[in-house]
Structure 1
Amino acid sequence: MHRIVKKTLQYTGFLFLSLIVLLIAGISYLYFSADMQTPKHEQSMTTDKVIDIDSLHLRYYGDNFLRHSDSGLWELFVKGDAFQRGEAIGQLSSDLLHYQEKVFVDQIREIVPSDSYLKFLRFFIVLFNRNLGENVLEEYRDEIYGISLSCTHEYDFIGTPYERQLNYHSAHDLGHAMQDYMLVGCSSFATWGTQSADSSLLIGRNFDFYVGDAFAENKQVAFYVPEQGYRFASVGWPGMIGVLSGMNETGLTVTINAAKSAVPTGSATPISILTREILQYAATIDEAFAIAQKRETFVSESILIGSAKDGKTAIIEKSPEKTVLFTGKEANRLICTNHYQSEEFSKDERNMENIRTSDSPYRFARLTELI
């Protein structure tokens, strides 16, 4: 009997050890096979240099410029192909990129002060975002890579400059996934026709994404003249190529509001990259919806689309599982906070919980009163 018990324990121990080895091997494979699809561009040999005119708070790089306006906003103008745009952004704003990254990492250090935990966080991010590169269009990877050439190596313990800049574009989505902790709570509205004083299309929003006062210090309005697609403007911060709020030359507007999401288990297309594609390549609500249907995201979002061509707005309700176009329940107006409104999501458990437990319906009701 003693011999049988001993052999059973030995077999159990061997099996347990084998499972641990397999688990470590599997995780190691996932970690070391992670591919952010780093572009192969070399820094251009252009003779352009940054011309800094201090008296005008103005910087030039070729046909591109960055200006600090009297309003306190940075105004960026870039043109060319994706890599050229990214390289120009990096050359014009290297100091701002360093500042933005520093305050972001400092904020993380306040939450996670231990270096060992930070290393674990890097390990986790590599695993989580191991397929992020394949979910971002080559055009936007090229632009991010161009920017990364001017980024500091001070934070290489997190990843290469390109890997870090690409990962930062998914940070907004992770903030949305943390909505239960009140990190995100945006509101927006649109009126037109009989609901607008002069019947024109009126759209307003607030953007609630807080990473500290220092991070919000350098707000930027970026004006893009891409080689492909429409010219557009968007509001964000230095280094952010995704779109949180923007408008293109056809009069199409894009704003985003978080919705209730399950904790994601892996990356897909960051919401701000999806909305960048919409703003750059869509002129109508139908075109915007078609782009949204093509992309898989890893968090849930309401995307308010305004269209001068259509003379109205609609909300694209996007989740990892489905994409729905909501055109409203009342004529000539839409209100959007942080819950879904369409019939297709009316029985969705996460959406129902969000309506029960968050302040989203209260903000919705307050906007209804004000309008």
Structure 2
Amino acid sequence: MERIIINLDKAPSERWHWLKDYKKETNNLLKYYLEDLSSAGIFETYIDTYKTLFISEDYQEEIACVSQYSDFSENQVLITNLYYDALKFVFGCTSFCVTNQKEKLHARNLDWWSENNILGEFTKLFDFQRNGETRYSLVSWPGFIGALSGVKPGKFSITLNAVLSNEAPQFAIPITFLIRDVLENAETFDQAVKMLSETSIASDCLLMVVGTNDGESVVIERTPTAFKWRHPENGQLIVTNEYLALTDNKQTNDTLQLTASGRHRRVQELLNDKTPSSINDYFDVLSDDEVKMGITVQQMIFDPANGDIYLKI
């Protein structure tokens, strides 16, 4: 898998100049996002106020840099980066961690429908570096500056799963930008969990955070303004696409829940039957016929201790 360095020592307006060699991929991805979002009520007439209130100047400059190497305006690039908050009903996702082992690995399927599997085909690994040292890494795509799945070596890893609550969306920071903020600025597992739990966000989500020390594994169940933590049971921590702690906020009969419970039970069955002892064992769980979905575009395993990423597309 191709790895690309994002140099955080450069000005934000210069960090994405490498996209000049990936213009076709960037344009295809942005076009795909915008076509989907055209039916989600997200229009450029509303984006300027949102950008001023909730998107940092650094991220605005990065968006402008992405725009420079695409055929789309800055506002259009920003709108595509809000994809999760606008269209999270097209996501699935299954994540798990076995916590009663010396080595804690964070396994995750990213389930996201796309035509011609462009999200799988265009996947890249991004290493965000300062002074030549990788501060954190993302599994992502050209033109997307936020984070759905990332790891900070020696500290923690974070993955995002979609969910729907009965709470209305809020004008607040998009969760994918908050995850990147946390990877960049939090120096401990506890700091990361606090930021992800207490910051108001635009829409619902489920966040798995896995640290390097004993007791450092949690699922944060979020609505825009509320949160509850879910901790491992019997040495296992599993998350799909349903609230198990924030049950009062649970929206019934939503599309995300159609397979969520079944996938959760199946992962639990597989872990009870055999505790994974190798990377291949973790991938076997992710690839089980009752866990992996037809829309799975990325399968990944993070090792928070050293920042290693194992990835299948």
Q: For residue 253 of structure 1, report the CA deviation from its aligned partner.
A: 0.2
Structure 2 residue 203 is the aligned partner of structure 1 residue 299:
yes
Matched residue SS, 1:207: strand
Residue ranges of structure 1 left out of the alignment (5+ in a row)? 1-72, 113-117, 156-160
Q: 1:327 to 1:138 in 2, by over 3 A?
A: farther
Selected match of 1:87 from 14, 27, 46: 14
- 2:99 maps to 192
Rounded to whole Å, the distance in 1 between the matches of 2:33 and 2:180 is: 26
Selected match of 2:247 from 333, 346, 351: 346
Higher strand share: 2
- 1:367 maps to 267
Rounded to whole Å, the distance in 1 between the matches of 2:4 and 2:121 is: 16
Identity within the alignment, %: 22
Q: Is the 8 A contact 1:339 1:355 kept in 2?
A: no
- 2:56 maps to 137
Alignment size in residue pairs: 269
Selected match of 2:188 from 280, 284, 294: 284
Matched residue SS, 1:232: strand
Selected match of 1:167 from 74, 79, 93: 79
Matched residue SS, 2:121: coil
Counterpart residue type for residue 19 of structure 2: S
Q: 1:147 to 1:309 in 2, by over 3 A?
A: farther
- 1:105 maps to 31
Scaled by the length of structure 2, the TM-score of the pair is 0.75
Rg: which structure is higher? Answer: 1
Q: For residue 164 of structure 1, report the CA deviation from its aligned partner.
A: 1.7
Q: For residue 98 of structure 1, report the CA deviation from its aligned partner.
A: 4.1
Rounded to whole Å, the distance in 2 between the matches of 1:327 and 1:216 is: 31
Q: Is the 8 A contact 1:300 1:320 kept in 2?
A: yes
- Cα deviations by residue, 1:35-86 (Å, 9 ceiling, x for unpaired): xxxxxxxxxxxxxxxxxxxxxxxxxxxxxxxxxxxxxx331112234634x5
Q: For residue 216 of structure 1, report the CA deviation from its aligned partner.
A: 3.2
- What value does the CA root-mean-square deviation take over the aligned residues? 3.0
Q: 1:101 to 1:215 in 2, by over 3 A?
A: farther
Higher helix share: 1
Q: For residue 246 of structure 1, report the CA deviation from its aligned partner.
A: 1.0
What does 1:321-360 align with in structure 2 at a 5 Å threshold? 321-328=225-232, 330-342=233-245, 345-350=246-251, 352-354=252-254, 358-360=258-260
- Cα deviations by residue, 1:254-312 (Å, 9 ceiling, x for unpaired): 11101114595664211111111111122333201221245322211111001114553
Q: For residue 134 of structure 1, report the CA deviation from its aligned partner.
A: 1.8
Q: Is the 8 A contact 2:19 2:66 kept in 1?
A: no
Higher relative contact order (CA 8 A, sep 6+): 2
Counterpart residue type for residue 169 of structure 1: N
- 2:162 maps to 258
